[in-house]
Amino acid sequence: MLGVIGAPSIDALFDEIPAQLRIDALSDVPPGLSEMEVMQLMQARARSDGRPLCFIGAGAYEHHIPAAVWALVSRGEFYSAYTPYQAEASQGTLQSIYEYQTMLASLTGMEVCNASMYEGATALAEAVLMAVRSNRRSHSARVLLPQGLHPHYRAVARSMALNQGVSLEELPYDGETGQTAAAVLAPYQGQDITAVVIAQPNFFGVFEDVDALTDQAHALGALVVAVVNPTSLALMRPPGSWGQKGANIAAGDGQPLGCPLSAGGPYFGFLCTRLEHVRQMPGRLVGRTLDLDGRPGFTLTLQAREQHIRRAKATSNICTNQGLLMLAGTIYLALLGPEGLERIASLCMQRTAELAEALCRIPAVRARFTAPGFHEIVLALDRPVAPVLAALDALGIQGGFDLSEHYPELGHALLTCATEMRTSADIDAYARALRVVLAEAP
Amino acid sequence: MPALLREKLIFEYSRPGRGARAQWPAASSAEPAPAVPESLRRRARPLLPQISELDAVRHYTRLSQLNFSIDTHFYPLGSCTMKYNPKACHAAALLPEFASRHPLASAASGQGLLACLFELQEMLKAVSGMRAVALSPLAGAHGEFAGVAMIRAYHRARGQNERNEVIVPQAAHGTNPATASMCGCVAREVPIGPDGDVDLEGLRAAVGPRTAGIMLTNPSTLGIFERRIEEVARIVHGSGGLLYYDGANLNAILGKVRPGDMGFDAIHMNLHKTFSTPHGGGGPGAGAVGVSERLLPFLPVPLVGRDDSQRYRWLTERDLPQSIGRLTCFAGNAGVLLRAYVYMRLLGREGMRRVGEYATLNANYLAARLTQIGFDAAYPRRRASHEFILTLKRQAQTQGITAMDVAKRLLDLGFHAPTTYFPLLISECLLIEPTETESKQTLDAFVAAMAQILREAHEQPELLKGAPHTLPVRRLDDVRAAREPDLVYSSDAA
Amino acid sequence: MSNIPDDLTYARSHEWVRALPDGSREMGISDHAQHALGDLVFVELPEVGRALAAGEACAVVESVKAASDVFAPLSGTVLAVNEQLRQEPELINSDPYGAGWLLRFQPGASGVAGELLSAEKYRELVAAEG
């Protein structure tokens, strides 16, 4: 090969690089391992981490993933394919995305859905920026976010909005119900508000009065950005049906649909909207069209808004999406169907109710909010939560998420969750362990 | 691959009441079952398929068979680094303890996973020559956002808010200027000289008191090394700006050159390119960022730290009060990071050096053979890095054959096309990146196919203009797709 | 060879301007520009009544491969936009100087007419761009 190139050595191929920049070896990297050795290392580390019993939600939920999902997603033709820029060679990927777009648009009650964002928090941030672009009548770029929205989602929105002149203001929640009352929008009457974000359920697991909030927001001239849990949409009226006119944009995390918890990612974000806003929507879009012979086929479309064409004026800098996870979500939904998704969602609610009941029988524990919710609940303890969680952890139980850092006003508060995967025996085990932990001196 | 395979939409398999019953848990037995309040209850079921598990498996298996992929085809997409994805990486990431781990679980119960992530940070520091690495950005573009945001934060902390110009070479990837805009900056283009290096005079004219920094890829998007990078660094640093490295082309220099040594202050690395995590039909990615000492305080959180007793924990805003903040809900695409970790452990220090060497060898070999059979290289006097550009400008003028035609005909011949029409600077271009995981036999077969295309251009140009002929679809009507968007299926549509 | 009517004036950014009998102006993009863009799929037009600043983007024309800003050749106020383009953006391709007009505007008192090129000068510009 070197003969064909006309170079004396491989090193000669690097001769355009200044000699002082070339290194002789990577000193701080260990030598290579065989596959067997690496797998032994990984298995040992995995074993040492083990599989504690999980009662944490807070934005990521442990659901059963049908075996067929990852058997199909792991096929090399999906796993090792690239972005479908050569449409004729990528009809598998493109058609599955079209099916995904259809399912998520329907689930959220919207007209279009894009081919995924990174995850829920960035999807919301992009939805906020999209709302600012789309609301022609508003010039303030003021966006209202509920405090009852996931604290990490609010943090990410801040990181992304900071440099784009968008101001984020927070709406309080009711300390009794845990809900965001529609009345909190009243003080903004007559002001220029660009968008209002409504989470359903909210971070506390509580159901919001989305119709009143949506109508009040629209009355302010603001666009409504919905943040929703996709499993809950099997049972809940979707954002497209909220209030008189429906939400304008819906976003959220698709993790519950076929994505393993995997320590935080990869998941996928979904972003859906009405046709009138489609050109303001970032990310890829797949459309169905005809080929030269008049046969239907699929292709990426409306690409002129994206970074590779519009560059500095693109709707976003997003290029890589979460394609493989979006496929997992599509196959998950195809396998469950409407009946399966409803049953999962109902079972989650039931298990969480059982969990709440079992734990609240313990004197030191009571439900913190009065409004009904989906599959998470905030419990008030009579003592700091962190040591309780640590003690439960040592017993192999992950009891939930400590709210005291982000919501100090709630006192000793714990957000806990039981999905369809938690059996009655699991819930029993948690309750027994908690009794033991709490019986120790406070 | 089956020819002309048609596969209907999943919705067309639906039959009312049908379902994969093994996936339906028993309905609630509680009395009364907790229910959604009446006013919030969904009225109409969503449009989801009502099908058997076999239908789903058959449908998606058949769809997969309509795709080209690395596992099935040579895929020389320039700038994408389509190297083989070792199966062990996937198997390790899906070990049940890792796959089922909740992101908010305690660090105490995750020392195994955190050890992998910490060691990944360390290895990425070593290959990049940077002082610290954070793993949370979820893609290259996300990493770019972090990098430019850190540079802005650095200037802001020094009271220099007016520094809002980001210099970007003409040939830059679109994400660069798009990122600049997302960070509230203005992108200023500098020209490329005839030999492919950044025009230093143009650069000197562009820098000044408003310069936040420059975004550079090296080797550049033209597939060649920026020879005067040290001078570029001096000019930009001299104006008070910082240097950002777009790591998309790191594969060319892995184990041979470190961006930190070139003077870069912030870098991102595309783990889904250089470190072989799966492209997955478009994603997921991971865009780990590395920084020099002066940008360390601004790193996005969380990242993994290790205390004196060798215990790992997450570092947050409390540890980095000047951090640009959180970029994602949790800690990043941990599953992707684990795959990259396993890949790096498999390669080791010698293997990584071989990556840079063989990626460069394969590209130079292919460039030599293709120019020898009659194609024109865009920069014939330069060494190829891990990729190179051919221009079809001459053929377009004399025979009316475009880069698009060559690309589409390659599909018929069993090869995925190279990247076409990027960078925008070179007309009718093909950006070709073989990667180090391809054998000489595969490269020679590709050359043979390109030779056939050259012959066809003379003898049967209609074969090229109408290509592809043998795939599930012919060329698609893009204009119709954009003018009459059909973006969701509806059962009443034809 | 692109079509460049003599009775119009042109901006360097490939917009054309026609003086209308009532003192207002009509504008669009040139034949050269529509050819470079390819088949147009969408046009984003400003609102009637919007103020135009010479040299600033006032509309966007989108094809499959590009989305280009259209720049106001003069300052002024938008009087009317070509609503037909919402359904038929392809009119810009087939008839860029007639049915493909983008908008009509009232030029401001400070309109800098000197910035616009005659058909002859625009022809030279297009030839130089190659």
Percentage of chain B surpassing pLDDT 70? Answer: 97
Chain A: residue nearest C66 by CA? A304
> Could you read off the pLDDT of B434-443 as tens digits, one per residue?
999 999 999 9
Record the pTM.
0.95
> Could you read off the pLDDT of A396-407 as tens digits, one per residue?
999 999 999 999
B178 CB neighbours in chain C (<8 A) are none
Class of domain A53-63+338-439: alpha beta
Q: Mean pLDDT, to the nearest integer, of B449-457?
A: 97
State how far residue B298 is from chain C, nearest Cα, in angstroms: 35
In this complex, do B479 and C62 lie within 8 Å of one another by their Cβ atoms?
no
> Could you read off the pLDDT of A156-199 as tens digits, one per residue?
999 988 778 899 999 999 999 999 999 999 999 999 999 999 99
Contact between A234 and A262 (Cβ < 8 Å): no
CA quadruple A95, A96, A99, A105: dihedral sign: negative
Q: Mean pLDDT, to the nearest integer, of B382-408?
A: 95
Chain A: residue nearest B120 by CA? A29
Q: Sketch the domain layout of chain A as residue ranges.
A: 53-63+338-439, 67-331
At B337, the amino acid letter reads L
Work out the pLDDT band at C129, boundaries 50, 70, 90. Answer: confident
Own/partner pairs for B31-39, CB < 8 Å, 24+ apart? B33/A346, B33/A349, B33/A350, B34/A349, B34/A350, B34/A352, B34/A353, B34/A372, B35/A349, B36/A207, B36/A235, B36/A236, B36/A349, B36/A372, B36/A374, B37/A207, B37/A372, B39/A211
Q: What is the pLDDT of residue B368?
A: 97
B279 CB neighbours in chain A (<8 A) are 80-83, 323
In this complex, do A304 and C69 lie within 8 Å of one another by their Cβ atoms?
no
Q: What is the pLDDT of residue C26?
A: 96
Q: Sketch the domain layout of chain C as residue ranges.
A: 9-107
Tokens 């060649």 correspond to what residue? B224
The answer to whether C67 faces chain A, any CB pair under 8 Å, is yes
- Give contacts of B 31-90 with A, CB under 8 A: 33-37, 39-43, 45-51, 53, 56-57, 59-61, 63-72, 75, 77, 80, 82, 84-86, 88, 90
SS3 labels along C74-113: CCEEEEEECCHHHHCCCHHHHCCCCCCCCEEEEECCCCCH
> Could you read off the pLDDT of B247-266 as tens digits, one per residue?
999 999 999 999 999 999 99
Q: Distance between CA B435 and CA A439 in Å, rounded?
A: 62
In this complex, do A304 and C66 lie within 8 Å of one another by their Cβ atoms?
yes
Pairing outcome for strands B165-169 and A53-54 = unpaired
Identify the helix (H) or strand (E) that includes residue B454.
helix B440-459
In this complex, do B478 and C64 lie within 8 Å of one another by their Cβ atoms?
yes
Q: Sketch the domain layout of chain B as residue ranges.
A: 89-345, 354-479
The answer to whether A230 faces chain B, any CB pair under 8 Å, is no
Q: What are phi and psi of A253, to 5 degrees?
A: -105, 130
Q: What is the rounded end-to-end Cα distance, in angstroms, of chain C?
A: 11
Task: Tell me the CB-side half-sphere exposure of residue A344, using CA atoms within 13 A.
Answer: 29
Of residues B28, B75, B352, nearest to A26 (C-beta): B352
At B341, the amino acid letter reads Y
Work out the pLDDT band at B494, boundaries 50, 70, 90. Answer: very low
The domain made up of C9-107 has a fold known as OB fold (Dihydrolipoamide Acetyltransferase, E2P) (2.40.50)
Residues 6 or more apart whose CB falls under 8 angstroms from that of A136 comprise C47
Q: Where does A151-260 show beta strands of DSSP type E?
A: 167-171, 195-200, 223-228, 249-253
Q: Is B493 exposed, middle or buried (0-12, 13-18, 19+ CB in 10 A)?
A: exposed
Chain C contact probe: residue of B404, B420, B475, B478 with most C CBs at under 10 A: B478
Q: At what angle do helices B111-128 and B334-372 cross, to 10 degrees?
A: 30
- Per CATH, the number for B89-345 is 3.40.640.10
The answer to whether A304 faces chain C, any CB pair under 8 Å, is yes
B352 CB neighbours in chain A (<8 A) are 26, 29
Q: Mean pLDDT, to the nearest integer, of A223-252?
A: 98
The answer to whether C44 faces chain B, any CB pair under 8 Å, is no
Q: What is the pLDDT of residue B2?
A: 47
- Per CATH, the number for A67-331 is 3.40.640.10
Q: Name which of B330, B348, B346 is nearest B110 in CA terms.
A: B330
At B165, the amino acid letter reads E
In this complex, do B43 and A87 lie within 8 Å of one another by their Cβ atoms?
no
Sequence-ordered alpha helix ranges (H) in A267-401: 307-310, 323-360, 385-394
Least confident of A79-93, B132-146, B286-300, C115-129: C115-129
State how far residue B36 is from chain A, nearest Cα, in angstroms: 7
Q: Distance between CA B133 and CA A68 in Å, rounded?
A: 36
Helix (H, G, I), strand (E, B) or coil at B157: helix
A309 CB neighbours in chain C (<8 A) are 65-67
Q: What are phi and psi of A288, to 5 degrees?
A: -95, 140
At B232, the amino acid letter reads V
Q: What is the pLDDT of residue B170?
A: 86
The rounded Cα B17 to chain-centroid distance in angstroms is 42
C42 CB neighbours in chain B (<8 A) are 482-483
Contact between A114 and A127 (Cβ < 8 Å): no
Q: Which two tokens stand for residue A88?
A: 């004729």
Q: Mean pLDDT, to the nearest integer, of C1-7?
A: 85
Q: Distance between CA A416 and CA B377 in Å, rounded?
A: 61
ipTM over 0.90: yes
Q: Distance between CA B316 and CA B336 in Å, rounded?
A: 21
The answer to whether C48 faces chain B, any CB pair under 8 Å, is no
- Give contacts of B 325-344 with A, CB under 8 A: 325-336, 338, 342, 344
Q: Give the length of chain C.
A: 130
The domain B354-479 is placed in CATH, from the list 3.50.50.60, 3.90.1150.10, 2.120.10.30, 1.20.1250.20, at 3.90.1150.10
Work out the pLDDT band at A319, boundaries 50, 70, 90. Answer: confident
In this complex, do C67 and A136 lie within 8 Å of one another by their Cβ atoms?
no
